[in-house]
Amino acid sequence: MRTAVARIAGIDEAGRGCLAGPVVAAAVVLGARPIEGLNDSKKLSPRKREALFGQIIECADDYGIGQASVEEIDRINILQATFLAMQRALAALRAPADQAWVDGNQAPKLPCAVRCIVDGDALEPAIMAASILAKVTRDRELVQLDARYPEYGFARHKGYGTALHQAALQQYGVTPIHRLSFAPCRLAAQQSPPGARAR
């Protein structure tokens, strides 16, 4: 009797350390179709990530993308919000996974076996693919938000705490997409004029 091949979903997130915007996670089940050039999304150029995004969508057996909002991050903390985004990404798969291989050393509660792999986004192709889907999805969203808040430079730094972003926080205050549970945003909010966050 032939043993069924386990459905392994690689899971990774993007945006955990940012000062603004959601945290995004992806789950990817790779199949027999090869995807050349997979790597940790941080080691790839934006153009290469975009190209691989399309290949992953086309060639993977299954994929799901989930996110947790700024409000959820501030309410339950960034770690739990990251786990929530991972749960949503796994739930978005068309069929359940037998195992989840998660980048890092902390395991979210998932309805299948979980294996944590430190530096998994540099070691396991399914996690690499998930890191690319999560990164590209989040970057696209921050580019859209840049049009709404052009003075903050979101298209350039994608919400990370760069010098440009921190200077904008000091000058303009916080927006509804800033994470008040993060110290730089909380301090900027305390110094902002009343109503600044409502913009």
Digit-coded pLDDT (tens) for 40-90: 999 999 999 999 999 999 999 999 999 999 999 999 999 999 999 999 999
Cα 138 from Cα 144, distance rounded (Å): 10
Q: Strand (E) positions, the chain?
A: 8-14, 23-29, 62-68, 99-103, 113-117
Would the pLDDT of 199 be above 70?
no
Contact 192, 178 (CB under 8 A): no
- Of the pLDDT bands very low, low, confident and very high (cuts 50, 70, 90), residue 196 is low
Q: Looking at domain 8-147, which CATH architecture does it have?
A: 2-Layer Sandwich (3.30)
Q: Are strands 99-103 and 8-14 parallel, antiparallel or unpaired?
A: parallel
Average pLDDT over residues 160-186: 96
21: amino acid identity, one letter? G
Which of 25-29, 30-34, 66-70, 77-81 is predicted with the least confidence, judged by mean pLDDT? 30-34
Q: How many CB atoms lie within 10 A of CB 198?
A: 7
Cα 53 from Cα 56, distance rounded (Å): 5
What ranges do the domains of the chain cover?
8-147, 149-192
Phi, psi for residue 33 in degrees, rounded to 5? -75, 120
Would the pLDDT of 32 be above 80?
yes
The answer to pTM > 0.85 is yes
Report the SS3 class of residue 141.
Answer: helix
Contact 116, 46 (CB under 8 A): no
Six-digit token string for 9: 């979903």
